[in-house]
Each structure stands twice: as structure tokens, then as C-alpha cells.
Amino acid sequence: MIPTNEHIAALIREDSVHKSVYTDPVLFKLEMERIYGHAWIYVGHESQVKHAGDYHTTRLGEQDVVMVRAADGTVNVLYNRCPHKGAKLVADGDGNVGKFFRCPYHAWTFKLDGQHLSAPLKSGFEGTCYDPKHADFSMVSVARVDSYRGFVFASQAAYGEDLKSFLGGVITSIDNLCDRSPVGEVEVAGGIFRVQQRSNWKVFYENLHDTMHARITHESSVDAARGEAEAIGEMPFELLIMDGNGEPYDFWEKLELRAYNNGHGYMEAIFDPAAADRDIVSREHFECLSKAYGEERSREILGMNRHNTVIYGSGSPHTVFMQFRVIRPLAVDRTMVEIQTFRCKGAPSSVFDRALTYANVINSPSSNVMPDDVEVYARCQEGNMTRGGEWISMHRYAGQDITLEDGAISTNGTSELPMRNQFAAWKRYMTTTLIAKESTHAA
């Protein structure tokens, strides 16, 4: 039975949430309709489909979609379904379909915008309502597609705010990621890791700005990095990025957490990459940018030192180390993360080397840091299945954040503001009255 809006609203309090938001498959199904069916969700980057016919498959909520480059350069996002018998038109992954999609089942073909092109032995349709121009015989486009600086987003709802309004202030993180290139462009490069977590998707979003977990959950990798740095007598980049989680509480308290409407936000950086012993990358990068933008602007760009950014529903860009951890919910207790790495066009190759190293060391399935996160998420998932209590606390600094026109800012870096902000967005999506789609049957 679908819960009423009143029932759903009661699951979210100012300072706590009911555990069923992580464990109830009915709520998960509703999230796929009411959040992933409406919000702008990151599909992929235009650089993943460079040439006409190039495609990249992914998921918007529970929906298999394909992002494809048309001959005129437009990037389309279509549901991966042939309108004839329903077969997925392309296999999951990346590739090139050529000039049109061709179904492997009965050879129905479709233009790169999804329009019906042809079906064999057309005489068989005589006297039926078969109509190549009717939507029933074409691939279906996702309702709205837009891109910002190469980042392609799609919304499954035909109505609602536009992409820029949806992103609000968090757009500055996408800008900063791109501005780190002397030509203002990035491209996905070097492959994409895919990692599975045995937990609900929301716990990962909450953890991204959870400054109170770092030194506790990551004690094993902090100890390992510090022990090794002591043994070899230096702190190179690979160790510095593991060491950062071990900062004492008063360090985290001073960080700034910024929340924007729609559940988005960012946290200030934990470490300065230039602090690594023998760091050459920051200097090379600064010199390169200075030539393009001048020293003052370059200092401003590289000085915007943010750690994880959250684009709620899409995932988490890391602007400094050029990553995007794209978060894809699979089931109420299963989540997949696609880790994209970006090459900063025109920047020294060492900037990309550093991004690759960060992906390998921090975000890969073999990371020494992530497993302890993934373990505690799974323990939350399992613990919340017990009868040992109903509510999840997010009381820390509740009522003490500073409200701004477009969100809020923490007064203490250990505030659970980001979680409260995410659940405020969740509640709004989940309880807003929805407009039903009208029937478009051909007959």
C-alpha cells in the first residue's frame, strides 16, 4: 500500500528521521518515481560521446537510458527500449551505433533522436494503426535534457524548474572543476571504476559531509599512512590523502559546510594538495593557469579548495582532484557508484596523473579508505533491520545553522546540517502532489 503524504512527512523531523527511509522497499519504489522521476539527474559528460553515433548507457533511478550523440552534435538521452517488443537496443556500456539504432531482435531502426526510421516488410502493417510518425513507434526520449559546461543532466518530468535553477549555488563546483583547465573544459578520461555498496543510497550522500566519522571509521588507513610516512621519512601525495582523515576534532569543527536548496552542498577541503612532500603538480598547474587567466584569477581558481560536493540525486564531484562519484541506487539496500575521472584540457599532464592516482588510491574498489566506509554503511543497513529502535539522530548543531536565501551555512563544521538539508529536499520531493501523465495511445 502506498503511504499517504502525511505518513511520509511524519518520517522526517527537524532533527531525526525514521529508519524506514533506508529499509522500506515501498519507499524506495516511491523515491524512484518522486525523486529520480523528477529531479535533474546527471547522465554523463558530453566527452563520453564525442562523435555522432557514440553512446553511453547508464541508469536514471530504475530506468535504463542511453546517452547518444546525434549527427548535428546534439546529445540525446533516450530510454533503452525498442518500441516493438521492448528489447534493450544497445548492450550496457559504451560504443557507437553508426547512423541509426538497429534493434537486434527484428531490425526496427531509429534515428539518433529516437525517431522511427524503418521496419522490415512494411506491407504487413497495412490496415493497422502503424504510423512511423506516431510516438508509439519511436524510442522515447527522457522528458528534459540539458547540459552545463559539458555535464549532461536529464529530468524525467516535463515540468519543473530548469537545470540552472535546480543546481542553484552548487553550480560553482562545476564551474571550478572546469575553470581548472586553461581552456575551461574537462573530459572524462582514463576509465570508470564501478563499486557496489550493500546499503541504501542516502547513507552515502550523508557520509560525504559527515566530518565526525572520518577519524573514527578511517582509523586503520590513517594509522597505516602515518606509520608508513614515518618509516620512509616523508609524506608523499598518496599518503597525504589518507592521512587527512585523521585530523583531530577541533580541525573538523572549523571547516565550513554549505547547504543549498534541493539537497545540494559542499564542504571545505581537508588538505591542501601543495602540502605533499615533493609536490610539483600544484606549481605546474598554477603556472599554466597564470598564462591563461593571470595570477590573481588563477589563485582564485586553485584557491577554491573544496572537498566533496553533493549534487543530490546525482553524486559527488571532487573539484580539486577531478573526480565525479556518480551514485546510482539499485535497490533499497544496494547502491552502485561510478567513479569518473576528468582530464583538464590544456593543463600539464601531471594534473591528470594526480587525478588518476587519487582515483586509484581513494575511490577504487581496492582503496584502503573506502572499505571501512562501505562496511559501516552495511552495518547501518543491517542494524536498522533490527527492532532496536526506530529513529536516526541528526541532532548535532540542529537549530544553530545560519539560514540563507538559497540554503544554509554551518556555524560548526561538525554540524549535521548537510543531512538535515538532504532530508528537507527528500521530504519535499516525496510529498509534493504529482501530475499524472496523459495517455498518448496511437489508436
Partner 1 sequence: MLPDATFDINTTALNAVTTPVETLRSIEAFIFEEAKLLDQRKFWQWDKLFTDTGMYWAPQKHDQDNPFDHISLFWEDRMLRAVRIRRVENARNWSQQPQTQTAHLVGNIAVEGTDDHGNVVVSAVFQVTEWRLKQRQLAGRYTYKLAAQENGGWKIQLKKVQLVNCDDVFENLEVFV
Q: Nearest Cα to 247, choosing from 218, 288, 277, 281?
A: 218
Least Cβ distance, residue 331 to partner 1 (angstroms): 13
Please give the distance of CA 27 from its chain centroid, rounded to a whole number: 21
List binders of partner 1 among 250-309 (CB under 8 A): 281
Closest CA to 36 of 164, 140, 148, 155: 155
Q: How far is the CB of 316 from partner 1 (least distance, A)?
A: 17
**Which listed residue (155, 199, 200, 217) binds partner 1 by CB under 8 A?**
217
Residue 40 and residue 166 in contact, taking contact as beta carbons nearer than 8 Å: yes
Q: Which residues contact 168 (CB under 8 A, 6 or more apart)?
A: 260, 261, 262, 264, 406, 407
Angle at 254 between CA 248 and CA 260, to 5 degrees: 125
What's the min distance (Å) between Cβ of 50 and partner 1?
A: 17
Least distance in Å: CB of 350 to partner 1? 7
Q: Which stretch binds partner 1 (CB under 8 A): 171-179, 308-316, 347-355, 432-440?
A: 347-355
**232 scored as a contact of partner 1 (CB under 8 A):** yes
State how far the Cα of 161 lies from the Cα of 196, in Å rounded to an integer.
32
Among 223, 277, 287, 295, interactor with partner 1 by CB under 8 A? 223
Among 108, 237, 397, 426, binds partner 1 (CB under 8 A): 237
Radius of gyration of the chain (CA): 23
For the beta sheet containing 41-45, the strands, ordered from the edge strand earlier in sequence to the opposite edge, are 41-45, 151-155, 144-148
CB of 338 to partner 1, least distance (A): 9
Among 1-9, 68-76, 234-242, 246-254, which window interacts with partner 1 (CB under 8 A)? 234-242
Kindly tell me which residue out of 14, 131, 219, 287 binds partner 1, with binding defined by CB under 8 A: 219
C-alpha span between 306 and 243 (Å, rounded):
17
Look up residue 311 and give its DSSP letter: B
Pick one of 365, 383, 385, 393: the residue that binds partner 1 (CB under 8 A): 365
Nearer to partner 1, 198 or 428 (CB): 198
Which positions touch partner 1 (CB under 8 A)?
Answer: 189-198, 217, 219-221, 223-225, 227-228, 231-232, 236-239, 242, 281, 336, 341, 350, 352-354, 356-357, 359-361, 364-368, 370-372, 374-376, 379
